[in-house]
Amino acid sequence: MKKSILMMSVTFVLGIMINVNSAALAADLGLVKSLTSKLGVTDEQATGGSGAIFNMAKQNLSKSKFAQIAKAVPGIDKMMKAAPKTESDNGMLGSASSLIEKDAPALSKVASLTNSFSKLGMNADMLDKFTPVILDYVKSKGGDKTMKVLQAVLQ
């Protein structure tokens, strides 16, 4: 009798854990699914490309403003971790990027994102295609104010 109650309890707890994880995974896939279906990119490209955009936003926003965006985007940490590393490229691109950054910060942002997209097998034109999809998604999840915070840093 005790064994069957224990088994039922374990089964119940595992069922809850599986449902919670499934819901979290489904939430993570919202932006990725949107990017893959609208742009025809792979899951890896959608995850890494959006992560690169969010990493750049985090570097250029205050903690409170980025927290506003992070709250609106389920799975943002996973996306940001999937973004290609660009700062470890201390070659010519890294030097050129630091020179550009001093004179034109906006160009530096674009160069960094273009480098990330290139590492994911996408050309620079895809950045222009990702941006409206991500902004629409952020607006749908966090409202117009949150979308405008992200939009301002992407300009």
What is the reported pLDDT for 88?
40
The span from the CA of 73 to the CA of 109, in Å, is: 21
Mean pLDDT to the nearest integer, 102-115: 71
CA dihedral 143, 137, 81, 104 (to 10 degrees): -80
pLDDT at site 29: 65
Q: What digits encode the pLDDT tens for the residues 59-107?
A: 999 999 999 999 999 999 999 999 998 754 444 444 444 444 444 455 6
The tokens of 55 are what? 């990493």
Q: pTM (2 decimals)? A: 0.72
**Confidence (pLDDT) at 86:** 72
The helix-helix angle for 43-60 and 125-154 (nearest 10°) equals: 30
What pLDDT, on a 0 to 100 scale, did the predictor assign at position 112? 85
- Calpha distance 61→53 (Å, rounded): 12
Higher pLDDT, 31 or 108: 31
Other beta carbons within 10 angstroms of residue 45's beta carbon come to 21
Each residue's pLDDT tens digit, 24-61: 444 456 999 999 999 999 999 999 999 999 999 999 99
CA distance 155 to 107: 10
CB 104 within 8 A of CB 54: no
CA distance 124 to 114: 5
127 or 12, greater pLDDT: 127
The CA dihedral of 92, 125, 153, 88, to the nearest 10 degrees, is -30
CA distances from 98 to 11, 27, 43, 153 (A): 55, 36, 31, 18
